[in-house]
Structure 1
Amino acid sequence: MKTTIWPLLLVLLLGAPRMVFSQDEPAQRQLTVEQQQTDFRLFRAALEQVHPGVYRYTPKARFDALFDSVYGRLQAPLSEQAYYAMLTPLMVQLRCGHTKFIPAQRDDKYPYHTSQLFPLRLHLLGGRAYALYAYDGRNIVPPGAEILQINGRPVGDILTGLLPYVSFADGATTTAKWLELDAFFAGYYAAFGQAADRYTVQYRQPDGRLAQAELPATTLATIKAVEKQRAPAPRYPVRLEFLPNDVATLTIDHFWVGEQEEPFEKFLASAFRQLRARGTKALILDVRNNEGGMDGYGSLLYSYLARQPFSYYSRITTHPRRVAIQEQVHSEWFYGIYRHLLISRAKDGTYEYRHRQGLKRQQPQKKAFVGDVYVLTNGWSFSATAEFATAVRAQGRATFIGQETGGAAGGDNSGFFAFVNLPHSGITMGLPVWSYYMAQPGSHPERGIIPDYVVEPTAADVLSGTDPEMQLAQDLIRKKAEAAARQ
C-alpha cells in the first residue's frame, strides 16, 4: 500500500473523518506553553521512533538543531493555527511526501479561514501566477492575466514564502510542491499567508496592459462546489486507446484497483495482448497525476516493457518492532502480524522487510512489448509511479516527456502507515513505516526522473484544453516514422 490508501486507513483507525469542512469553521483554541511542549515532544518522538527515513534526506545533526530551535521558541501561548504553522516547516524538512500533518476536524487542504479564501483559481508557472477563473464566475480579472501583486505584496514573494509549508515532495524534487500549491493556493495562502475579507489584485492583462481589481473573499463551500462542477467526467482509471499509424496510448491514473474495476493484472495482460495483435510500434504511456498505489503493480507493468532481467528494489527497511511511544501509535490491526513474522534485523542494526516480490530478480514477460515507449510524467507522478519511472529510466527503455517526477529516483517512505494524535493541538500525524530503496537509482537518487523533453503547460494551454506533452510525443513518433520511410 502506498500513497493513495492512507486517508481510508485514517478513518478506519481513528473512528471518524478528520478531513471535514463546513461553512462554520471550528473555533480555535489557545495552547498554553506546557501544552505546546507536550505535543512537540510527542511530535519529535513520533518522527524519530516511527518514521523509517527521518534522516534520509536531512542529516541527524541538522534535524536535531532544527528540533531544538523550534522547541526553544515555544515561550508564549499560541493559537492552533500559529502552532500548526510553526511545526509544519519542520515536518517538511523530512522531504517525505507521504508524511501527513492534519489539524483536527479541518479540511487538510483548507484548514483555516475558510470564509476568507482567495477568490481566483490560479495556474503557476516559473514562479509566476496566472488567473484561470474566479470562483464566483464573474471573471473581473480576465482568464490568462498574470497576477502581479495581492494586497500590495509581489506574487513571487508570496509563492516563495509558501513553499516551505508544502510537504508533497520527496528528496530534492520540487515539481509536486508547485502542483500542490497550484491546485490549493487559496488554502495555503489562508493558512500560512494572510487571509482577508477582500483582496486587491494587481495584474497584467493578456494584451499587456496593467490593471487592478478589488475582489471579495470566497468560501470553502463555494470552492468545493465549483471544483466539483468543473471536474471532468469520470473515466475508467486504466485506458488503452489506439491511434492511427500503429500508435497506442496507455493511461494509468493510479496503481490500485477499486471494487468495480477489472483486476490490474488481468487488464495488463489483455492490453499488451492487444498491442501485439495489432502490431503496435509505439506506445505512449501516460502516468501524469498518478500518485501511486500498490508497489507490485509498478514492477508488473515494467515487466511488460523490459528487455532483460531486472532488479526493482534493493531493500525495504522499517523501525523496530516496539517503540517507546507504542501506546500512542495507531496502525492497521494486521500490521502487527506482519511485523513479528516478516521483519528481521540486518547486520548493520537496521530492520528489514524481506518478503516482497520487488526484492527478487525479475524476468520480462515472455511476450513483452518490443516497440518504442514514450512516458509522460509530471510532479504528481509519485510514489509507486516514480518507482516505475526509475526502473524504466535505469534500462533506457523509454523517452520521457513532461516534468520531473515528484517521487525521488532513490525510492520513498511509504508502505503501511501509522497515525499519532497530538492531544492538545489535535493534529494527526500520518507516518509511513517502510522505506523503499530502488535497485538502480541513478547518480542523483534525491532527484526525480527528469524528462528527456521538459514540457510545462501554460495558462493558455490549460484554458484551451491543449495537451502539449501528448502532442510532442505524437510529433516525435511521426518524425521518427518519416525519417525511417526516407531511408
Structure 2
Amino acid sequence: MFSQNEKWPAKKLKQDLTIFKEIREKANSGLYKYRNKKQIDSIYNWAFSKIKEPQQLIEFYKILLQITDFEGSLHNDTTLPDDFEKQYSLGNVFFPYPVKIIQNQLILNFENTEIPLGSQIHSINGIETKKILASLYKYYTTDGYNITGKSIGIGSSFSKYFEMEYGPQKSFLVEYSLPNQAQKLIKSVSSVSNEIRKENFKKRFSLPSDSLQYQKAKEKYSFKIISEKTALFSVHTFVIGRNAKDKLHLAYKKYLDSCFQYLSNHPEIKNLIVDIRNNGGGTDPNDIVTFSYLTQKPYRENSSAYVNFQKIPFTQNLVYEETEPQKQQEERKDFEDEIKEEFPKLINQKYIQDQKFNPLLQPDKNSFKGQIFLLISPRIASAGSLFASLVAGNTNAIVIGEETMGGYFGHNGHTPIEYELPNTKIKTRFSIVNLEQDVPKKANQIFGRGVIPDHNVSQTLEDFMQNKDTQFEYTLKLINTK
C-alpha cells in the first residue's frame, strides 16, 4: 500500500525516469513527430534536474505527465497506481461544482445557491484562472500543439485535476463575476467528496447539450431528413464492433447503404450535414467505410505508416492482459507476429507498413454528390479525426465548428502498448503506429494542429445559458443563405 505522504528516494525516481525515457526511445515511433531530439533531450534534462531530493509520488507523477503531454499524442496516457489514486482521492478535498470553458473563460456549469450559474471564475484560492488552466493542460493529452481539446478533459475532471495539481483543499475562495457583469465578487465554498464531485457532474447544467461528449451514445448513429433539400447524418462514435466481420459493423454498413441509397434516389436533397462533434474515435474500418459514401475519388486510409520495432523492447516492464506466464508469452508472440506481418521491411530504421494493409479504396456507388457540411468540435479524436481530415481534405465539405483535438496531417494510433515502471508502479501507455493521413496541404491546415474549420463557430455564454446548439443553428442559417 502506498502512503500519500511518503517520500521516494531520488535514486529510485531517477531509475524510473531513465527507464521511462529508454522505453519511449525504443518503442514510441511518435517521440519525434512534433518535437526534435534537442527538444526531447531538453525536457528530460529539466525532469532530471527536478529530482535532486526525495519527493512524493504525486510530484514525480506530475513530471512524467509534463513529458507525456509534451510529446503531442492524444493516445499517450500515464497513470498512477490504482491503490495510490484511490487513497489520494479520499475525504472532502474536491472543488464542488462542474465548470465549462466557453470562449476561453471558465464558467460555472451548475445550478446552486452559492455562486450563480454562468458566473465567470477569475481565481480560486488566489490563483488566477489563466494560470490554473495552463497548469492543468498536462493532465489531458492532445495531438501536436493542440489546446482546444484540453477543454474536454478540464470540463469533465476540473475538480480532480485541481486537487492533483494544488493538493487537497478544505475550502475554496472563489473570485467571480455574474454573467455579463464586470464587478468581482468573492465567495468561500466548502470542498466535497469524490462521490459528490461525480454526482454533481452528472447534474451539470450543460448536460442536455454535451451529454454525448462524455457518455457512451445509446444511439451511435442516425439519419434524418430535416427539410426539403437537407439531410442530417450523425455518427457519435466509431466504436461499432471490433472489426469488419463484427455483426455491429455489418449492421452499420447496411444502415449506411440504406441512407445513401435514399439520398441517391432523391437528388432534390442537395445538402448533407455530417455531425461528428461527439466522435472520440473507435475501430477500423468504420471511419474508412463511412468516408466511402462522401468522396468522389479513390482514397487510402493513410499515405504512410511505420513502427519502431518488430520485437517488443523492455518486455520485463510490459503490462499484459493475461496473468499466467505461459499465456503472457503467447500474448507477446501474437502481438509480435501481427507487427511483423503488417510492418515487414526495415527502411531507414523504420519498419514500413505493407501496402496490402493500406489498399486503394473506391467511393461507394451511392456516394453523396451534393454539398457536405461537416460539424466538428474539440472532442473529435483518433479515428474520428482521421475521418474529419479525409472529409475536410478530399471533399467539397464546408467545415463548421471548432478545431479537433486529433491532428489533420497524422497521428500515432492503431496499436496501443503499456509499460509499468519498476519502482513507482506508474503505468505509461502509447500507440506505436506513426501514420500520415492521406490528405492534401491546405492554406488553413497547420502542421501540429487539429482539423481547422472553415467557419470557426463556438458556443457563446448566452447560448450556453439557453443550452442552444450554436453550430447546428449556424449551419442551418448558412444553408438558407445559399
One fold, TM greater than 0.5?
Answer: yes
Query: Within 1, Cα distance between the matches of 2:189 and 2:466?
Result: 25
Query: Within 2, Cα distance between the matches of 1:441 and 1:227?
Result: 40
**Alignment partner, residue 146 of structure 2:** 173
Instruction: Report deviation, 1:26.
Output: 7.1
Alpha-carbon contact 2:317-2:421 (below 8 Å) kept: no
TM-score, normalised to structure 1, is 0.86
The percentage of aligned residue pairs carrying the same residue is 21
Instruction: Report deviation, 1:124.
Output: 1.1
Equivalent of residue 161 in structure 1, options 135, 141, 146: 135
**Alignment partner, residue 244 of structure 1:** 227
**Alignment partner, residue 327 of structure 2:** none
What do residues 238-270 of structure 1 show as CA deviations (whole Å, max 9, x unaligned)?
111221223111111111215895633222212
Instruction: Report the number of matched residues.
Output: 452
Secondary structure at the aligned position of 1:449 is classed as: coil
Secondary structure at the aligned position of 1:414 is classed as: strand
Instruction: Report deviation, 1:46.
Output: 1.7
Alpha-carbon contact 1:331-1:418 (below 8 Å) kept: no
What do residues 403-451 of structure 1 show as CA deviations (whole Å, max 9, x unaligned)?
0111111211111111101132221111211112112252533221111
Alpha-carbon contact 1:110-1:188 (below 8 Å) kept: no
Map 1:24-63 to 2 at 5 A: 27=4, 29-63=6-40
> Root-mean-square deviation (CA), in Å?
2.6
**Alignment partner, residue 481 of structure 2:** 479
**Alignment partner, residue 460 of structure 1:** 462
Query: Within 2, Cα distance between the matches of 1:237 and 1:362?
Result: 25
**Alignment partner, residue 161 of structure 2:** 188
For structure 1, which segment, 109-118 or 322-331, has the greater mean C-alpha deviation from structure 2 after superposition?
109-118
Secondary structure at the aligned position of 2:196 is classed as: helix
Query: Within 1, Cα distance between the matches of 2:23 and 2:428?
Result: 8
The amino acid that maps onto 2:195 is A
Q: Are 1:403 and 2:402 counterparts?
A: yes
Query: Within 2, Cα distance between the matches of 1:60 and 1:411?
Result: 19
Query: Within 2, Cα distance between the matches of 1:478 and 1:108?
Result: 52
Alpha-carbon contact 1:410-1:437 (below 8 Å) kept: yes
Structure 2 CA distance for partners of 1:249 and 1:445, relative to 1, 3 Å = same
**Alignment partner, residue 393 of structure 1:** 392
Secondary structure at the aligned position of 1:465 is classed as: coil
Alpha-carbon contact 1:257-1:264 (below 8 Å) kept: yes
**Alignment partner, residue 324 of structure 2:** none
Alpha-carbon contact 1:315-1:354 (below 8 Å) kept: no
Runs of at least 5 residues in structure 1 that lack an aligned partner in the other structure: 1-23, 481-487
Runs of at least 5 residues in structure 2 that lack an aligned partner in the other structure: 322-330
Alpha-carbon contact 1:250-1:283 (below 8 Å) kept: yes
**Alignment partner, residue 15 of structure 1:** none
For structure 1, which segment, 398-407 or 173-182, has the greater mean C-alpha deviation from structure 2 after superposition?
173-182
Equivalent of residue 140 in structure 1, options 110, 114, 133: 114
What do residues 104-143 of structure 1 show as CA deviations (whole Å, max 9, x unaligned)?
1169899756631111211213432111116xxx331000
TM-score, normalised to structure 2, is 0.87
Query: Within 2, Cα distance between the matches of 1:109 and 1:298?
Result: 36
The amino acid that maps onto 2:479 is I
Instruction: Report deviation, 1:331.
Output: 5.6
The amino acid that maps onto 2:184 is L
Equivalent of residue 305 in structure 2, options 311, 316, 320: 316
For structure 1, which segment, 436-445 or 216-225, has the greater mean C-alpha deviation from structure 2 after superposition?
436-445
Q: Are 1:91 and 2:79 counterparts?
A: no
Structure 2 CA distance for partners of 1:337 and 1:179, relative to 1, 3 Å = same
Alpha-carbon contact 1:110-1:220 (below 8 Å) kept: no
Structure 2 CA distance for partners of 1:441 and 1:85, relative to 1, 3 Å = farther
Structure 2 CA distance for partners of 1:108 and 1:338, relative to 1, 3 Å = farther
